[in-house]
Structure 1
Amino acid sequence: MKVYIAGSITNNQSYKEQFKSAEEHLKSLGCDVINPVKPEGKNYKWYIDEGLKQLMQCDAVYMIHGWEKSEGAKLELQYAKTVGLMIIYG
């Protein structure tokens, strides 16, 4: 199963650690994982567009604790609900 990680990045000082921890956990369960944490320097729209492109290739989305604070994660969750992806809450 291919799983996309969604969570709060903007204004979250520990997002890299949170996403890495989620990635390691999901891989330990045998999942193929998409961690959307990207190199810095792009604009917000680029990150949202790229994230949705990656999510479109997945079977499930894993919502990291605190995702409710992120407009991007809310958008990813809505996409997942709309197209019927499995939703996993961390």
Structure 2
Amino acid sequence: MPRLYLAGPMTGIPDYNYPLFNAMAERLRAKGFEVENPAENQAPACGSWAGYMRLALSQLMTCEVVAFLPNWEASRGARLEYQVAKELGLKICLVDDLLNPAVCKEAA
């Protein structure tokens, strides 16, 4: 299975959307994916959005697939992750599609 980066909205969401990130990471790992989950990162020393994004983008660079959570389009960070993934030619999927074996099968 390919290495997968989990992307989605965090800012402005209760608990930074960590419960959804963690639940989806668990489900994807159960399907055999090696998941890079930014919700599992330690806070950067600076505590800034840019610091969090630097951590996230370095994780994304180690992956072949980027899976997006619902409403990712409303997230400044997820839109940046999408642009980087697209420019690097990474496989881009919705997390719900990866959990459906009939969809996005080239990522599996």
> Taking structure 1 as the reference length, what is the TM-score of the superposition?
0.92
Q: Which is worse superposed, 24-33 or 39-48?
A: 39-48
Which has more radius of gyration?
Answer: 2
Q: What's the C-alpha RMSD, in Å, of the aligned pairs?
A: 1.3
Partner of 1:5: 6
Gaps of 5+ in 2: 96-108
Question: The residue matched to 1:24 in structure 2 has which SS?
Answer: helix
* Counterpart residue number, 1:84: 89
From 66, 72, 75, give the equivalent of 2:71: 66
Matches within 5 A, 1:34-73: 34-37=36-39, 38-40=41-43, 42-73=47-78
Structure 1: which 5+ residue stretches go unaligned? Answer: none
Identify the structure with bigger relative contact order (alpha carbons < 8 Å, sequence gap 6+): 1
Q: Write the deviation string for residues 14-44 of structure 1: whole angstroms up to 9, x where unpaired.
A: 5011101110111011000001013447111
Per-residue Cα deviation, 1:31-87 (whole angstroms, up to 9, x for no partner): 000010134471111001111011000011010001111000000011111111111
- 2:24 maps to 22
Q: Counterpart of 1:25 in structure 2: which amino acid?
A: R
2:38 counterpart SS class = coil
Q: Identity of aligned pairs, percent?
A: 34
Corresponding pairs, count: 90
